[in-house]
Amino acid sequence: MSARPKVSPTFAGTSYEEALQRARDLVPALRERAAQSESERVMLPETLADLHRSGLFRILQPKRWGGMEFDFVSYVDIPCELARGCASTGWNAANLLIHHWMLALYDERAQEEVWGQNPDALIASGIAYPQGRGRATQGGFVVSGRWNFSSGVNVSDWNMLAVTVREGAGLGGEKVVDHRMCLLHKSQYEVVDDWQVLGMRSTGSMTVVAKDVFVPEHRALCMYEARGGDKFPGARGNPHPVFRVPLGTLGSHGIGGAAVGNAQAALELSIEVVKARSTNYTGLKMRDFQAVQLRIGEAGARIDAARHLLRNDCIEGQEIANRNVIADPERKLRFKRNLAYAVSLCTEAVDILHAMAGANGIYDGYPIQRIFRDAHALGGHFSFSTDAQFSSWGLAALGGEIVNPTL
């Protein structure tokens, strides 16, 4: 029988509209806190408390553990709303909530070790496989590595760290035999506070270091079992189709949603500024300049297009999962292509609006300045590289061979 905590808040009865409204209701407070949060380089305690109280970290957690267990499109919608208030908050929420979803893929014993003690437990990650090395040993793996960009690690009790497993040596050399996502408790790794950056400062995306840590088999999820379908270890206990969505294909769409929300904030704030400068009856109204109208319209179209791309991908991915089939590589790579393109549209939209601010846009106190920095900082994520994602899909569309074991 699965372990259960003595006291557990449950959000299993929360409706989708209720969750969306909770996210929208937080936007004003997040905007007020954004400057302080950026200064402290972490998510503020009051923001963390708001996200726990609202249950927004748990929108993709199984209902049997007190989560909402929504369809996968929620992974775009909720971070998008939160990022309208603060891009870093939307980003951290996207990362921390998808790790609840990921834990549902693990062996039941791993779920019990985390959620049995605390269903609100937060889990950070280090997702670059080359940054972690592992070797198989009796009962599990011994892992070492240095993973940067571990968002929200300062508030997390656990971390999912990507590891490339190798075997062999000598004349034959080493060869890669597996890719694992290893679940470590915070007592098993070191956090290096090196987060001094241009933008996305309040994500607290510090570096994690682990050396020769033993990870039992049940806490080392094989990424070949997370490519879609129901062959993952936790499938029996978590049969909802949402957990059949392929991780490597759609697992970054939530942080793409944060990019959309950040751009939407730039649009909303720009519109407020234009309206405020259009009430002088003795002079020209800013809204009557065609150049201003064009920039607002152009930015708005890009943001809407990006939002629809990401939402449609998640809806399509959910529909495929509902049928318990696995998408072909071309379709999977199309989703990844769309993500990169959507984020590029958001960056363009922010650039258009920031340019419209003119000299005001260089002041620290002007909110679009921070949004501009955040847009370019988050745009550096490797999932958003149009060079990488466009060419991969292009190769697949042209009938080329795709070599990606985690796809």
- The pLDDT value given to residue 93: 98
CATH of domain 123-222: 2.40.110.10
Superfamily classification of domain 16-115: Acyl-CoA dehydrogenase/oxidase, N-terminal domain (1.10.540.10)
| Rounded Cα distance, 270 and 275, in Å | 9
- The pLDDT value given to residue 4: 45
Which residues is 126 bridged to in the sheet? 161
The pair of structure tokens assigned to 117 is 């003690």
- The pLDDT value given to residue 286: 85
- If 0-12 CB within 10 Å is exposed, 13-18 middle and 19+ buried, where does residue 363 land? exposed
Say what the pTM is.
Answer: 0.95
The pair of structure tokens assigned to 335 is 């989703």
Contact of 115 with 121, CB cutoff 8 Å? yes
- Residue that has been written with the tokens 């990022």 in this structure: 83
- Residue that has been written with the tokens 């968002």 in this structure: 151
The pair of structure tokens assigned to 105 is 């893929």
Q: Do domains 16-115 and 247-397 have the same CATH topology?
A: no
Domain ranges of the chain: 16-115, 123-222, 247-397
Contact of 349 with 299, CB cutoff 8 Å? yes
Mean pLDDT by 10 residues, the chain (407 residues): 54 98 98 96 97 98 98 98 98 98 98 97 97 97 98 98 89 86 98 97 98 98 97 98 98 98 98 81 77 96 98 98 97 98 98 92 90 97 97 97 93
- The pLDDT value given to residue 283: 65
| Of 266, 256, 254, 255, residue with least CA distance to 85 | 266
Contact of 371 with 350, CB cutoff 8 Å? yes
The CATH fold of domain 247-397: Butyryl-CoA Dehydrogenase, subunit A; domain 3 (1.20.140)
- The pLDDT value given to residue 22: 98
207: DSSP letter: E
